[in-house]
Chains A and B, each alone.
Chain A
């Protein structure tokens, strides 16, 4: 077993490891990639120039150095990123002492594991595609290792072809396992902190710049499918966290510890039913259309009507919901709520406070109108690139710069209202969405993130006021791409130019949507639903396993049958014609005897069938010429076909 393995095999191993490394490049720090390539190259040169294997006193410090590097880079050994880097660099370091079959097998099994780890980072169709070449190469290398007759090397294609065959034959059982293997809802234990890093979405507080930053992200926040007609674009306000408290420059949610009463809600008009597919964002909120009435089982509604999940949303979440676009919210405002919604920090933004005081004589609706009027009439600009604001940011924005994004308008409007004695709060969420005709659903991106305001009026309750609409009505009517001049700042997909690109993108997104719904979203619940649809009843765990084992046994049995069936020899054209001729003669009860030559058989057959004698002898003669001459005339083949056509042997009844 301890045989040394040859150079060709080493090259195979290095190429397959390089493929694994290549697919992982976005997930690894640069030094890990460089080190891995370095160790691979070292091993290659070692074989090429017959360098000795490095001694333990060299390998040990390298190993220690790597461990230090990992701890330094990731602040620890544990977690997804650190483990991957450690595994990758150790796998390539192991190359430096791979001599025999044992080491090779170890490295290959580790590399298979690394391919599986790819999906911790991304589960897109592209990643799925990227996982195939390394699997193919690793399997081919494994075949090469198993092919121990090094003195009779096979061509590269032999290993690749066999590996491809094996993997293709593995697909049916893989599909059955995928569908029927009982899905256990994870996680089995706490996930490392970094398992869900890189997810983006709304924060739980609002500062200047938060939302305009998010707007540069074209990632999808969620997709919505409406049952029945979808509401107007300008009504698509997706309610997220409701912000009550001003602390310096940031606005935060009210604590649920203070025990505010759930606001009363009356709804009118038509119900809007829809299904949301929320991308994971590692926070609690689940977005709903203003105003939700029916919420999913495992969600809670806060007193101010934002929906909260029980634990951070780390997997794609699908839920059904119902909302009404005409509603009356919180007609009776308690004293505590009233005070909370009037809170502003004392001594800040004096000009704004002064402006609000000057409206003292006006009624609340007039105060609102005056404020909005101000946004409309003064040269306010809706922009993604607002200037930096000074110590009194609201003052600075309202009286100096006048350039801002939705969060500037929402916060300064709410600030003005509170200063003028009108209870007001900020709502963050998303506004609008892009309709995808392929699959008829809406795509809402991070770039659709938005902030608006709610003000409380006696007898009317909380009213939604969107100050951004006053400055840039296009934002609300048509979406973000129509409302900004500096579209370069926006992600490509949120822009209006390149319509064909956009169309291609929408097609691709509908493929992605199905992928998400059916492949990635295939969890325990979906599995039960799917099997129920398939079998017409609820399937128990035992039944699932029984079906799984039964079908797999059937597939393996069939595969085994096809694998050991005697394979037909491939015939050349002349042999095919000759087989045709033999079939015809068989009708007359004539078959060649063991060892009988073509001409002998023809002589015997022509004796039995005297009226076909010339054809039979011609066929035998031509067949012999084609088979045995060095370069037969190609016309001879047609000639042979012609002769066989002329052969007239009646079917025996």
Chain B
């Protein structure tokens, strides 16, 4: 809202962010060079400055030589604090390691590696993509630290990393030094699944209708899988269970095993809503360990129930255009 009012938009640091000199990451590593570090007083710094002005006026008014001494010593302390705050940040190296895929609107954890190579410990280094979720750490001398920085997601697909801010206020909290880092790293966001309570769009009919039962021969025993609620009692390997090694369901390829075909054509609504519905179905199918395949208008993924298959399907959904 405030951004709309012309003079007020300058109030937010975010507005100025676009003009800042940015540290680019070469080969994924961003080195915080002295010239790319910004520093401004914090509100405590401003309070401190006001206090110093008070001391200065007092010293002038009462002609106090030692009043000048305290004023100048503390002013100089502020200056030195500036150097130390800057020094606490300078020459750190920030690399993006990896991230785990998440569903849109979940928070993704970006793994960063912050390395120190100047043989001095760094204290209270903070990092954030947006101020709500910051992480603060110490880094030992000549050491590297892996930190997880949360980042909110909204859209599916490959997302580029927003600008990362690394900052510090150590040692006196009077000054805030920060750098803005850009890294070409991209992370994958799966589509947001639709509400699980509402899978009406995809009726059981549609499943049987649209899916075909692969019949390759009735007695083709294909292996076991862990028993799950809902598996047909006739398929339970009772012999195995009587040996006390657990409940298994026998799998027969071709037999009565349903291969679930999740088809674009069976969904309705906008593209995004269709993708959401399919994502929900994929998640449910994966959770119940069914064998499922995916049919998209331009793509078909063969049925399977492995973990890789699950991620492949979700990736395809995430990248669908």
Contacts and interface: CB of A to CB of B under 8 A. Distances in A.
A191 B87 contact: no
B62 A566 contact: no
Interface string B159-187: 00000000001111110000000000000
Contacts of B80: 166, 169-170, 173, 559
B138 A556 contact: no
A520 B65 contact: yes
B124 interface: yes
Interface string B49-61: 0010011011111
B44 A109 contact: yes
Contacts of B65: 119, 123, 519-523
A24 to B, nearest CB: 14
Interface string A136-162: 000100110111110010000000001
B172 A315 contact: no
A131 B68 CA distance: 13
Given A146-B170, A170-B80, A174-B69, A188 B136 contact: no
Interface of A, helix, strand, loop or mixed by DSSP: helix
Contacts of B136: 148-149
B200 interface: no
Given A162-B171, A167-B77, A186-B60, A564 B90 contact: yes
B79 A173 contact: yes
A559 B84 CA distance: 10
Given A113-B54, A186-B62, A559-B83, A177 B76 contact: yes
Contacts of A556: 79, 83
Given A186-B61, A186-B63, A567-B118, A147 B76 contact: no
Given A146-B173, A148-B136, A178 B63 contact: no
Given A145-B173, A146-B173, A560-B87, A128 B79 contact: no
A116 interface: yes
Interface residues of B, number: 51
**Candidate in A120, A146, A173 with the most chain B CB atoms within 10 angstroms:** A146
A480 to B, nearest CB: 32
B72 A191 contact: no
Contact of B55 (A116, A148, A172, A181): A116
A521 B54 CA distance: 22
Contact of A142 (B68, B83, B87, B173): B173
A116 B71 contact: yes
Contacts of B242: none
B172 A119 contact: no
Interface in B112-128: 118-120, 123-124
**Candidate in B58, B77, B123, B137 with the most chain A CB atoms within 10 angstroms:** B77
B61 to A, nearest CB: 5
Nearest to A101: B173
A73 to B, nearest CB: 22
A404 to B, nearest CB: 40
B6 to A, nearest CB: 29
Nearest to A563: B87
B102 interface: no
A566 B119 contact: yes
Contacts of A131: 66, 70
A563 B82 CA distance: 12
B252 interface: no
A567 B118 CA distance: 7
Given A149-B136, A166-B77, A171-B76, A185 B63 contact: yes
A552 B76 CA distance: 10
A139 B63 contact: no
A299 B91 CA distance: 62
B48 A147 contact: no
A106 B60 contact: no
B217 interface: no
B214 interface: no
A147 B123 contact: yes
A162 B81 CA distance: 11
Given A112-B51, A147-B124, A188 B60 contact: yes
A105 interface: yes
Given A113-B55, A188-B61, A559-B83, 19 more contacts: A105-B44, A109-B51, A119-B65, A119-B70, A120-B64, A123-B66, A147-B170, A148-B124, A148-B136, A166-B84, A166-B171, A172-B76, A174-B69, A187-B61, A188-B57, A191-B61, A519-B69, A520-B66, A567-B118
Interface of B: 34, 44, 47-48, 51, 54-55, 57-77, 79-81, 83-84, 86-87, 90-91, 118-120, 123-124, 136-138, 169-174
Please provide the 8 A-B residue pairs with the shortest distance between their CB atoms, ordered closest to farther.
Answer: A173-B76, A170-B76, A177-B72, A119-B66, A146-B173, A116-B70, A186-B63, A116-B55
23 contacts: A105-B173, A109-B48, A116-B59, A116-B70, A120-B58, A120-B62, A135-B74, A143-B170, A147-B124, A166-B81, A166-B172, A167-B73, A174-B75, A177-B68, A178-B69, A181-B72, A186-B63, A191-B61, A315-B63, A519-B66, A520-B65, A559-B80, A563-B87
